[in-house]
Structure 1
Amino acid sequence: MDRITPTIDKRAKQPSSSQSEEKALATTSSDQLPALGQFEYVQTRVVPVRAEHLERHRIVAYNKNSSMSGAIDLLRTQVLKIMDENGWRTLAITSPTPEAGKTVLAINLAMSVAHHTTKAALLVDFDLRRPRVGSYLGLPMEKSLNELLANKAELKDVLVNPTLPRFVVLPTREPIALSTEMLSSPMVSNLITDLRDRYDSRINIFDLPPLLSSDDAITVLPKFDCVLLVVANGMNTKKEIEESLYHLGKANLIGTVLNKAEMQNRTYY
């Protein structure tokens, strides 16, 4: 697996007033959205996953005893520490450009959080132009976020547990037209708010589109508590990183992950 180097900025900013207003607006819009306002589910569909499929897509954190998941667990510990200190429960993951490995990292991080004895993890595929979470996990997706946003399914029908305790996935089966408009809609705001407020001990991770590929990520970022930026070593230029940081603006950037770096041999100490 590509080496992952977590670099966490411990000077995370406190939630801005605009974020608080955004959440308040999302909450008050629930009366206008009866289909998404009925988020009542008590059982999640359990779907077995295949180890060889996960390994082929570099999903290593499924097995918490894997020697390859050490960097992911370190990242998890740093991320959870900052989120706990600030009372944050929604984490967006994005990158400057495609192919930086953000989706693979999002899946591995969510699984690592689920291994944490006091936390549960929900992973949502919000890359509506190029959804990959479900396919990387090998999940059947007869009903997914596509049907939920089209009011053709309820939330309980589209959530999936890939046979890992405390881990739930909300996959997207296929690209969604007018993705920017959908991500900026009251419907999506209402969904994010409900997922965030439902369980105090759950971390909600959202795989977003790349920042520089469209305005999708920029549109939806204010709805999340914090964001993690994934940068690909040797792929993303200094200009792309600087432009991404500019677009992140007032978002609570809790850290940057250097992905696809060369492996370095280190002693235990």
Structure 2
Amino acid sequence: MDRITPIIDKHTPRSVPTEATPAVTPGEQSADLGQFTYTQTKVVPLRAEHLERHRIVAYNKNSNMSGSIDLLRTQVLKIMDENGWRTLAITSPTPAAGKTVLAINLAMSVAHHTTKAALLVDFDLRRPRVGAYLGLTMEKSLNELLANKAELKDVLVNPTLPRFVVLPTREPVALSTEVLSSPLVSNLITDLRDRYDSRINIFDLPPLLSSDDAITVLPKFDCVLLVVGNGMNSKKEIEESLYHLGRANLIGTVLNKATMQNRTYY
């Protein structure tokens, strides 16, 4: 996997969302993180060779390539815990920076954490990739949920990793900007955020400069992480992205696809 260099800069929060009492409903794991009983959530086994082909390394905790992901996880969780944040948006200036791969690996790393659960939502409605990268079967997905053809419990998937749930999008969504700005999406984000106190909800957003999709939905999230592709994004693109993120709680920037450096422990 390409090297990931986390650069986390704390920002003074403008507001801290009010904590809400979680509403435990059938369809997901028990609110007790020690229990992993999925009553209605579809359980789908993952294939190691498929994950490796798409650079998903955090699934295997014995991988020597997951150290950077775990370091990023620890930094992100520290800032989110300090502010009571539970929704994290991940975006990039342009396509191909690796934001989706990073989002999947980060969510898996969070799920490996002993006190956290992770939900990963594919909100890149123009070019959804989360389900394909994981190799999930998607008979029902966010597409059906948005079309009122399925309930939330019908579209969530557990990829056999405890404390990890995915809400995939199977195919591109027409009028994506309008959909992301709709009350339906706002209510969905609020519902997912308030369902479990100990769950981190990660949303894979479209690139900032490719459309107005990400800019439209960003105010609905507690915080955001920016993924920059090494040698791919110009200074102007990064500055323009930071301008669009000016009112968001930007918790840090990740330099992705950097050259791997050999390191020894201590």
Residue correspondence of structure 1 range 43-122 to structure 2 within 5 A: 43=39, 44-122=41-119
8 A contact 1:14–1:86 mirrored in 2: no
1:242 and 2:226 aligned: no
Deviation digits for residues 220-252 of structure 1 (CA, Å, limit 9, x no counterpart): 000000000000000000000000000012100
8 A contact 2:11–2:249 mirrored in 1: no
What is the rounded CA distance, in whole Å, between the counterparts of 1:15 and 1:178 in structure 2? 31
Pair 1:12–1:45, CA change in 2 (3 A): farther
Instruction: State how many pairs are aligned.
Output: 253
What is the rounded CA distance, in whole Å, between the counterparts of 1:56 and 1:96 in structure 2? 24
The answer to which of 40-49 and 204-213 deviates more is 40-49
Gaps of 5+ in 1: 24-38
What is the rounded CA distance, in whole Å, between the counterparts of 2:187 and 2:146 in structure 1? 11
Instruction: State the AA in 2 paired with 1:256.
Output: T
* Structure 1 position 10, deviation (Å): 2.1
> Identity over the aligned pairs, expressed in percent?
88
1:148 and 2:134 aligned: no
- Aligned match of 1:14: 14
Q: What secondary structure, in the 3-state scheme, does the structure 1 residue paired with 2:65 have?
A: helix
- Aligned match of 1:129: 126
What is the rounded CA distance, in whole Å, between the counterparts of 1:65 and 1:81 in structure 2? 24
Q: What secondary structure, in the 3-state scheme, does the structure 2 residue paired with 1:203 have?
A: strand
- Aligned match of 1:41: 27
Q: What secondary structure, in the 3-state scheme, does the structure 1 residue paired with 2:120 have?
A: strand
Task: Find runs of 4+ consecutive structure 1 residues off by over 6 angstroms.
Answer: none
Q: What secondary structure, in the 3-state scheme, does the structure 2 residue paired with 1:72 have?
A: helix
Instruction: State the AA in 2 paired with 1:50.
Output: R
Pair 1:140–1:12, CA change in 2 (3 A): farther
Deviation digits for residues 42-97 of structure 1 (CA, Å, limit 9, x no counterpart): 53110001000000000000011211000000000000000000000000000000
Q: What secondary structure, in the 3-state scheme, does the structure 2 residue paired with 1:76 have?
A: helix
8 A contact 1:12–1:82 mirrored in 2: no
- Aligned match of 2:33: none
What is the rounded CA distance, in whole Å, between the counterparts of 1:223 and 1:2 in structure 2? 31
What is the rounded CA distance, in whole Å, between the counterparts of 1:3 and 1:15 in structure 2? 33
1:262 and 2:259 aligned: yes
* Structure 1 position 40, deviation (Å): 5.3
Instruction: State the AA in 2 paired with 1:8.
Output: I
What is the rounded CA distance, in whole Å, between the counterparts of 1:121 and 1:151 in structure 2? 25
What is the rounded CA distance, in whole Å, between the counterparts of 1:258 and 1:155 in structure 2? 34
2:223 pairs with 222, 226, 246, which one? 226
What is the rounded CA distance, in whole Å, between the counterparts of 1:12 and 1:268 in structure 2? 33
1:216 pairs with 194, 213, 218, which one? 213
What is the rounded CA distance, in whole Å, between the counterparts of 2:78 and 2:118 in structure 1? 15
What is the rounded CA distance, in whole Å, between the counterparts of 1:206 and 1:173 in structure 2? 15
Gaps of 5+ in 2: 20-24, 29-38
8 A contact 2:11–2:250 mirrored in 1: no
Q: What secondary structure, in the 3-state scheme, does the structure 1 residue paired with 2:59 have?
A: coil
Instruction: State the AA in 1 paired with 2:8.
Output: I
What is the rounded CA distance, in whole Å, between the counterparts of 2:62 and 2:134 in structure 1? 19
Give TM-score scaled by structure 1 length.
Answer: 0.91
Give TM-score scaled by structure 2 length.
Answer: 0.92
Q: What secondary structure, in the 3-state scheme, does the structure 1 residue paired with 2:66 have?
A: helix
Instruction: State the AA in 2 paired with 1:9.
Output: D
